[in-house]
A and B are shown apart, each in its own frame.
Chain A
Amino acid sequence: GAVVSQHPSWVICKSGTSVKIECRSLDFQATTMFWYRQFPKQSLMLMATSNEGSKATYEQGVEKDKFLINHASLTLSTLTVTSAHPEDSSFYICSASGPGADTQYFGPGTRLTVL
């Protein structure tokens, strides 16, 4: 089946630094990728939709200047959390959709801890 990977699986950073998270579709071309955030004991909340070669579409309340998304190729989307603060600590999950897919395929997630 289709596989989506994320890197890193976890990251700890200091407040004020920027962190980049990668999402890759390993065996299919993903024209659309999605980024979700999940706080402890809560559900996944969609942050943005990323289409290859175009600007991401952000959900209401998500700061596009803080969460930079780049979908430069059909197999890679990146989420950069700029000037991270402790409240950005969360589990970030991406998903990808490809041609003919019934559903999206989810990555294993990246746990971000901002000190």
Chain B
Amino acid sequence: SQQGEEDPQALSIQEGENATMNCSYKTSINNLQWYRQNSGRGLVHLILIRSNEREKHSGRLRVTLDTSKKSSSLLITASRAADTASYFCAITRGTSYDKVIFGPGTSLSVIP
């Protein structure tokens, strides 16, 4: 299966702590993306990192990509209760016209 794995499946932290989620995949990729999904809602695109990039930042988010290990991590710093959601990594092997394959997701709970 091309679908990646995410680790951990569920994560519970106190507000203010950092949250780290990992994603592994099995094929070569063109880019990897992270999405957030609040319960029962649509996807929110967080960050896209290309295969030739190693790290990207966006506000409190930091994403790393190690193509040699076929893995990526999402770090949320100084977490807030509003960060409580499911987080998915998704890979694209080719262009944006190619299918996006989602990992199983990590359920993050930030306790106030």
Contact = CB atoms under 8 A, between A and B. Distances in A.
Interface in B80-112: 88, 92, 95-97, 99-105, 107
B41 A46 contact: no
A102 B48 contact: yes
Nearest to B107: A41
B104 A108 contact: no
> Which of under 10, 10 to 19, 20 to 34, or 35 or more describes the interface residues of B?
20 to 34
Contacts of B107: 41
A44 B88 contact: yes
Interface of A: 31-32, 34, 36, 41-46, 49, 91, 93, 95, 97-98, 101-104, 106-109, 111
Give 3 closest A-B pairs by Cβ, nearest first: A108-B42, A97-B96, A101-B96
Interface of B: 3, 31, 33, 35, 40-43, 45, 48, 88, 92, 95-97, 99-105, 107
